[in-house]
Structure 1
């Protein structure tokens, strides 16, 4: 028995190690790699592991861990910020797609309930596949990427109650048993649900606090596993979904101070078990169906891609997206997703769907996932360039001259604190930002921000630059910062300019342009952290302060010397080396600095 178990484990691991890296290298994603690995070792091909159903039953624990991790990520604050896109666009898309696919399934002969389950299941998209494609193309921060992520998040949320409802809907067994049984089961389920929420709210933090106090990684990991499995079992015993219990436990811990440690501990189990689940699904995929009925399989796959893509385009347009964004989302999210495997398998287990239909749909979903990277790559290369480059940008605002003392160019996170302090002190200021979306976001919080390019001298004049005392350059873009600095210095020479320097190179550019009131954004935080480290190593706070101050003064002098050789790489490298030696000599000669005992420069007493 033990030998058989180890042999099966070795087969699964070998298949995953061989196939998953190959599919990642091809840009097709891990999920498809696991599916193909399962197909190869499953009954439809090599038959190395014949008991596909037994593996599938065990591997569903991976879905439990997946839902727990999703719950951990759903902090209430995050949901509040994204609520309009998540619940507005997400619900619109899910409703349209589910209705479209369910009507087609019903037209093809399924019962209304089965058609609804199939429509909802096929309407879900592949979260890991989509996020990987967006990440590879650096599109996660784009409007299309944000809307795609919001839609995926809503789908994950919507799948939870559907997954929980499938056992209850199964064959109407509870309704046939009479109202008494139905009331008893509903009461049991509600009691378990409330018990998990209340118990989790008041017991989970103390439990993890006790586990953390043991300072044992094994105890903490065991506590995490106990919470996940215990919550899942509680829901299962109450007749609900194990995944629902794990999801609730994750949400209850989302704001916990132990969230990151819990996530780190659970990640290896989640990854391995989820991979095992996808391999089990692949083992159950009947590849022979493609040979037996190629037109049916390929026709259903094409139909899924077209119907789902069209519903996504319609939902995006109704939500206000451009044709470019809508088409991009339609291609990117046209595939079936991994949650469809979970829902269809649960529906087949509950006898809501025939096993043959489930096998056919699993094969269709797998093929749709395989085509997505190819379709989206072709869309990005050949179709997207034909759209307008972007939505028509609104015209710049005309700032009002409110006699500001300060003008801030760029209102990102770096200089929002300055704005809040100025507002608290009732010092008038005006903000110009060229990022229209950032302007809209900041305005929602009641801040007065104008959409405009500070390099436009007419806008600066309208904003009151001829009477203002200070201009703050706070944008991320180095070229934009330099363009504004040079133009404003010539046009408004009395305006004192303070600038954010992204790095040493940016600082030198600003200094060469005559801007000497600058802050290197990483320097203050780095020096503060250095001081804390020195104190932790045993230096008295006063000596740590002196050491940091010595470094800062020397670094400012080095910055000025390097300005003289700016553009000459060999001389610049030489100044860096000389500065390092000078700093070491300074510390060795300084009587006020004594490194902790054992350090190379420790003073003898």
Structure 2
């Protein structure tokens, strides 16, 4: 028992030290975990043979991660991405497998072994890529969406790979394989020895049963457990679902990760989805971190040192081949700009399922032990280099595309409108659509090329260019414009533009969006004619709707909303005068805060008085 506690302390201490340091250096948590594993394993020798056992346990973090991914995908969303899933993902697996197979044959390997190596290296690291996307805020990008489609197909493809690899067994290895039925994979596979048709029926029945149970049995179970009010029992139930599904898939020879993913998709419409996600996510994060540590700790530096050039060359070769295939496919599927490079660099490594397939290949007499050790180092080294590829994307690729976007020449404006709108984000788009719908000609300017291209793709006119440049405003017809709407995202630039417009064109009606009260004061000080707080009206409507939902009379809600607005208008003028009287850096003085509190109290008193007046009138009636 003491030995296990010491080993646990070593792993946790390594993670606690290495990961925060890596994050502070901008290297990401994954590289921190890998470095921690290298330090406690090959470098310091604090952990030993138990690393392989722990790695098998930690691989369950991948299973949990795919379950959570499935929870985010409703079945109809999965159907909508079928073109990218099977097109982009299928071509990536086939293309990478074919190229690596040809290279391996050129080096003298038999075609069966070359094909197996191609299949293993065609898979990428779902754990590293999705974790890094989330950390770097890339999960919502088009590149990440395409990368996810490829990863999802790879995880699905593991099933046919597991069925196909035994057919590639080498006769000389089969002759040396143990004949004891209790050894190897068959010991925990209930389908071992079944004919092909019977195995197919078992697989189909298991998946159908999983879908049926997810739709009809999971909700009563989760509701029964939730009604107990005991959070720890719900956590246990959530873990039971994932562990039970993974065990079922393992017993019939399928990928536990795929089973967990299917279960997540089935439960995506469940009202317990968010509760399941919040309960499982901490376990997923801890196990994934442990998995990355074991990858680093499992690197055999003796073999790596003896064959350093070969292993490094193979790892870089795998990355280069996969990157070439991914780049070509991303171009064919019209993934543009930095997103194409994100797909290319994020998926260029080998993945954690490579360890699973390598182990399975040894059990099925497809690959000999010494070659497996070499290939495991290649897989581990390519995974170790993945954070470096993401750093290259951040430091080299993104700045280049941002610079190219900034250097793009402004569009020629062929038709000037009566209203000029600077910024076509979520705010500017709504204003523009309303004006167009009422027959008002607009000239829309935005310095983000993707925003302009998106507007044009849906049939709306927009021009690329920096609205703060006087020459562009002149080309947009600023001298003849009747109104100018400022909806750009940058606060400082919007205030600067407002000052320029009111100084140069004092008769022009300037309207602007303010992010917050301070921004509103700055725009007002710049002379803007009409200002709207971005979230003011929506927040007021939400508050009013909440009152109505709580049982307040609709007439009272509307009256109170109107009273709130009136006090806010009065407060806005008084607070602005107090703000403008302060010195720079001390705008929000103690007097300002006291004034704000007094107006908040006035709003509360106004509401109380209105309710008292209404109650008195009701009693009199």
TM-score range, shorter chain: 0.7 to 0.9
1:506 aligns with 519
SS at match of 1:240: coil
Following superposition of structure 1 onto structure 2, how do residues 403-418 of structure 1 map, counting pairs within 5 Å? 407-418=420-431
**Structure 1 pair 329–172 and aligned structure 2 pair: CA distance change class (3 A):** closer
Please say if residues 41 and 296 of structure 2, whose CA atoms lie closer than 8 Å, have aligned partners that are also in contact.
yes
Q: Note the alpha carbon deviations across 1:246-288, whole angstroms, 9 max, x for none.
A: 0111122334443332211101221222333334444543222
Cα deviation for residue 123 of structure 1 reads 4.2
Please say if residues 409 and 432 of structure 1, whose CA atoms lie closer than 8 Å, have aligned partners that are also in contact.
yes
With 204-213 and 356-365 compared, the bigger mean Cα shift is at 204-213
1:573 aligns with 589
Q: Note the alpha carbon deviations across 1:30-61, whole angstroms, 9 max, x for none.
A: 44444455556669973745344443443332
Following superposition of structure 1 onto structure 2, how do residues 360-371 of structure 1 map, counting pairs within 5 Å? 360-371=374-385
Unaligned runs of 5+ in 2: 175-190, 613-621
2:528 aligns with 515
**Structure 1 pair 369–280 and aligned structure 2 pair: CA distance change class (3 A):** closer
1:169 aligns with 164
In 2, the alpha carbon distance for the partners of 1:342 and 1:472 equals 58
Cα deviation for residue 159 of structure 1 reads 1.9
With 486-495 and 206-215 compared, the bigger mean Cα shift is at 486-495
2:444 aligns with 432
SS at match of 2:404: coil
Q: Note the alpha carbon deviations across 1:206-228, whole angstroms, 9 max, x for none.
A: 54444444443223323322322
Q: Note the alpha carbon deviations across 1:388-420, whole angstroms, 9 max, x for none.
A: 93167375253546xx77554323222444455
Cα deviation for residue 183 of structure 1 reads 1.0
Unaligned runs of 5+ in 1: 597-605
Please say if residues 287 and 363 of structure 1, whose CA atoms lie closer than 8 Å, have aligned partners that are also in contact.
no
Equivalent residue in structure 1 for 2:454, among 425, 437, 441: 441
2:367 aligns with 353
SS at match of 2:275: helix
Structure 1 position 265 matched with structure 2 position 279:
yes
In 2, the alpha carbon distance for the partners of 1:179 and 1:48 equals 38
Following superposition of structure 1 onto structure 2, how do residues 76-225 of structure 1 map, counting pairs within 5 Å? 95-126=94-125, 140=138, 146=141, 148-172=143-167, 181-225=195-239
2:568 aligns with 552
**Structure 1 pair 260–467 and aligned structure 2 pair: CA distance change class (3 A):** farther
Please say if residues 71 and 251 of structure 1, whose CA atoms lie closer than 8 Å, have aligned partners that are also in contact.
yes
Cα deviation for residue 189 of structure 1 reads 0.9
Please say if residues 211 and 220 of structure 1, whose CA atoms lie closer than 8 Å, have aligned partners that are also in contact.
yes
With 500-509 and 412-421 compared, the bigger mean Cα shift is at 412-421
In the alignment of these two chains, the number of paired residues is: 587
**Structure 1 pair 498–346 and aligned structure 2 pair: CA distance change class (3 A):** farther
1:55 aligns with 54
**Structure 1 pair 436–589 and aligned structure 2 pair: CA distance change class (3 A):** closer
Please say if residues 411 and 431 of structure 1, whose CA atoms lie closer than 8 Å, have aligned partners that are also in contact.
no
SS at match of 1:246: helix
In 2, the alpha carbon distance for the partners of 1:458 and 1:119 equals 57
2:64 aligns with 65
1:398 aligns with 413
Equivalent residue in structure 1 for 2:240, among 226, 235, 239: 226
Equivalent residue in structure 2 for 1:287, among 271, 293, 301: 301
Q: Note the alpha carbon deviations across 1:484-543, whole angstroms, 9 max, x for none.
A: 545655777665332111233432332233213111113334555666788999999659
SS at match of 2:403: coil
Following superposition of structure 1 onto structure 2, how do residues 518-597 of structure 1 map, counting pairs within 5 Å? 518-527=531-540, 545=561, 548-549=564-565, 552-562=568-578, 564-565=580-581, 568-570=584-586, 572-580=588-596, 582-583=598-599, 586=602, 592=608
**Structure 1 pair 151–478 and aligned structure 2 pair: CA distance change class (3 A):** same
With 542-551 and 252-261 compared, the bigger mean Cα shift is at 542-551
Compute the RMSD of aligned alpha carbons: 4.7
Structure 1 position 74 matched with structure 2 position 73:
yes
In 1, the alpha carbon distance for the partners of 2:356 and 2:25 equals 26
In 2, the alpha carbon distance for the partners of 1:160 and 1:64 equals 11
**Structure 1 pair 7–407 and aligned structure 2 pair: CA distance change class (3 A):** same
With 356-365 and 574-583 compared, the bigger mean Cα shift is at 574-583
1:274 aligns with 288
How does the TM-score come out when normalised to structure 2? 0.76
In 1, the alpha carbon distance for the partners of 2:426 and 2:28 equals 34
**Structure 1 pair 441–90 and aligned structure 2 pair: CA distance change class (3 A):** farther
Cα deviation for residue 186 of structure 1 reads 0.9
Structure 1 position 474 matched with structure 2 position 473:
no
How does the TM-score come out when normalised to structure 1? 0.78
Following superposition of structure 1 onto structure 2, how do residues 241-320 of structure 1 map, counting pairs within 5 Å? 241-315=255-329
Please say if residues 75 and 266 of structure 2, whose CA atoms lie closer than 8 Å, have aligned partners that are also in contact.
no
In 1, the alpha carbon distance for the partners of 2:137 and 2:65 equals 24
In 2, the alpha carbon distance for the partners of 1:563 and 1:50 equals 67
